[in-house]
Amino acid sequence: MGHLAYKLFVLTETELVTLLKQKDRAAFKSIVDTWQDMVYNTALGILQNAEDAEDVTQEVFIRVFESVSSFKGESKFSTWVYRITVSKAMDHIRKKKTKKRFAFIQAFYGKNDEPIIDPPDFFHPGIGMENKENAVVLFKAMEQLPPNQKIAFVLNKVEGLSYLEIAEIMKITDSAVDALLQRAKSNLKKKLADFYEHNKN
């Protein structure tokens, strides 16, 4: 087993995927070890809840293990995993909103029916402690973005992916990614300005 674990360490991604298609558990462990931080951080950026992100991370790797036979190698393996992560995260949001629609609406609006920004119940590991206060406000503003804008923004600004990589993950054009990010930045700028204006006194 130790020899196999060492052997997996030097295998290429293609060879690992081939072993995973044969349901090799050591290959699966290696893939989880390699990609779990990326999956968790992406899910956390979208869901903004540590427990939900952990649940989605487990769901993603179950899906990877069960459906790896459908991976044809037409894109990078990481792109395929990102797609599953985004899909699972958005499914999770839809399920939670269906179950807690009225509670969500009540929590989202203040006494005067004004949208409010409450501190999120998570701390993203990619944000330095010195930026924590600003990050709290930014992530809560991000939560109010339309889904595609939020996904593009998280992948670009949190995960550091290029427009080309985001286009592959979201199955859209580079120009569509650019348009989503421009709209996201514009919306965030307005939401943050409104927030700081509302809380300056």
Please tell me what DSSP assigns to residue 120: P
Sign of dihedral through CA atoms 157, 159, 164, 168? negative
Residue ranges making up the domain that contains 51: 2-198
7 versus 48: the higher-pLDDT residue is: 48
Helix (H) or strand (E) holding 161: none
User: Which tokens go with 98?
Assistant: 């269906």
Check whether 123 has a pLDDT greater than 60.
no
- Greatest CA span in the chain, whole angstroms? 65
The confidence score (pLDDT) of residue 67 equals 95
pLDDT confidence tier of residue 14, bands split at 50, 70 and 90:
confident
Cβ 45 vs Cβ 143: under 8 Å: no
In this prediction the pTM is 0.75
| Mean pLDDT calculated for residue range 6-17 | 71
Q: Per-residue b/e over 79-111, b at no fewer than 16 CB within 10 Å?
A: bbbbebbbebbbebbeeeeeeeeeeeeeeeeee
CATH of residue 164: 1.10.1740.10
Domain count across the chain: 1
Check whether 181 has a pLDDT greater than 80.
yes
Q: Per-residue b/e over 172-186, b at no fewer than 16 CB within 10 Å?
A: eeeebbeebbebbee
